[in-house]
């Protein structure tokens, strides 16, 4: 097994220096992502996830960052994954993706990808483990968590420093938000963060084997964590989706993507 080297402070500083735009666009998997114009896409630094990167490459647009946190995608769609990794300026995976890969692929990943820590896998856990998370946050103020001692209640968190790890929220979009925030973008815009029923991905094609999605079932859990994020962190985060299930008081709707962002609720 290849040795894991997690994403570091020095690497984060280097990536900040290589940003090309003041706006970061999170190009996600929901149907509304396909409505973003090519001119809008070219006006931002793009963090693409899973299969959304393939759409960009077909349009002649290489993502600044490619992010995958689901080990199934890398193994079940390896040829697409390999194409996306090769084309992106930088690629991020988590330890789950790394551990799910066979040994020869692990070496390939270690050479080409930054690896992120996942601070917790499950939002529910016992009191002892939750105390451990509380002590971790006390030592690292850049990580904010709501850690209820009850086993039945779910943890909520947000990492302002991705080198310490990221907080899970049942969607790669939340990891992408924490990554963009850590990179210091003044504006972060979501495309395709819909949480609509059925969990359709805009890039899935008829006749292809479709990976299962539970995102619509988890929508309310995700929205609860996003509300925590808005109340505790208040990141410069916006959405382009007019069909999203996420309330606009959590992620406001914007008129345009470019260097100036105007919220419709202002």
| pLDDT tens-place string over residues 35-70 | 999 999 999 999 999 999 999 999 999 999 999 999
Q: What pLDDT band is residue 120 in, cutting at 50, 70 and 90?
A: confident
Report how far residue 161's alpha carbon sits from residue 142's, in angstroms, rounded to the nearest whole number: 6
Pick the closest to residue 174 from 113, 94, 229, 239 (CA basis).
229
- pLDDT at 123 exceeding the cut of 50: yes
- List helix spans (H) across 113-216: 127-139, 172-182
- Examine residue 130 and state whether it is found in any structural domain, yes or no: no
- Report pTM: 0.92
Is the Cα dihedral 132, 220, 257, 237 positive or negative? negative
Of the two residues 202 and 97, the one the predictor is more confident about is 97
Q: What are phi and psi of 233, to 5 degrees?
A: -110, -40
CA 103 distance to own-chain centroid: 26
The domain of 164 spans: 9-123+156-239
**pLDDT tens column, 196-220:** 866 678 887 765 656 656 676 789 9
- 39-55 burial, b for 16+ CB within 10 Å, e for fewer? ebbebbbbbbbbbbbbb
Question: DSSP secondary-structure letter at 252?
Answer: -
- Examine residue 128 and state whether it is found in any structural domain, yes or no: no
- Examine residue 168 and state whether it is found in any structural domain, yes or no: yes
Greatest alpha-carbon pair distance for the chain in Å reads: 52
- Examine residue 150 and state whether it is found in any structural domain, yes or no: no
- Examine residue 162 and state whether it is found in any structural domain, yes or no: yes
Question: DSSP secondary-structure letter at 236?
Answer: S
- Examine residue 96 and state whether it is found in any structural domain, yes or no: yes
Domain count, the chain: 1
- Examine residue 60 and state whether it is found in any structural domain, yes or no: yes
- Which of 3-7, 19-23, 35-39, 136-140 has the lowest average pLDDT? 3-7
β-partners of residue 140 are: none
CB of 252 within 8 A of CB of 242? no
CATH number, domain of 25, equals 3.90.1480.10
- Examine residue 246 and state whether it is found in any structural domain, yes or no: no
């Amino acid at each position: 097994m290849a040795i894991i080297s997690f994403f570091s402070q020095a690497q984060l500083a280097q990536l900040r220096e290589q940003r090309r735009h003041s706006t970061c666009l999170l190009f996600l998997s929901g149907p509304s992502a396909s409505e973003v114009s090519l001119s809008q896409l070219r006006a931002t630094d793009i963090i693409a996830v899973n299969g959304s990167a393939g759409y960009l490459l077909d349009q002649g647009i290489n993502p600044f960052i490619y992010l995958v946190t689901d080990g199934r995608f890398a193994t079940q769609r390896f040829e697409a994954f390999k194409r996306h990794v090769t084309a992106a300026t930088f690629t991020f995976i988590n330890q789950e993706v790394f551990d799910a890969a066979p040994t020869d692929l692990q070496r390939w990943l270690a050479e080409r990808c930054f690896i992120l820590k996942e601070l917790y896998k499950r939002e529910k856990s016992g009191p002892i483990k939750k105390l451990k998370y509380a002590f971790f946050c006390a030592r690292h103020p850049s990580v904010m968590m709501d850690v209820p001692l009850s086993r039945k209640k779910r943890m909520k968190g947000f990492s302002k420093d991705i080198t310490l790890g990221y907080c899970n929220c049942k969607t790669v979009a939340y990891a992408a938000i924490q990554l963009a925030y850590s990179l210091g973008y003044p504006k972060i815009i979501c495309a395709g963060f819909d949480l609509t029923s059925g969990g359709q991905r805009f890039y899935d094609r008829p006749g292809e084997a479709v990976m299962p999605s539970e995102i619509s079932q988890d929508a309310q859990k995700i929205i609860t964590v996003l509300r925590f994020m808005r109340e505790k962190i208040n990141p410069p985060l916006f959405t382009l989706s007019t069909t999203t299930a996420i309330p606009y008081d959590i992620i406001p709707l914007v008129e345009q993507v470019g260097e100036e962002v105007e919220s419709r609720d202002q």
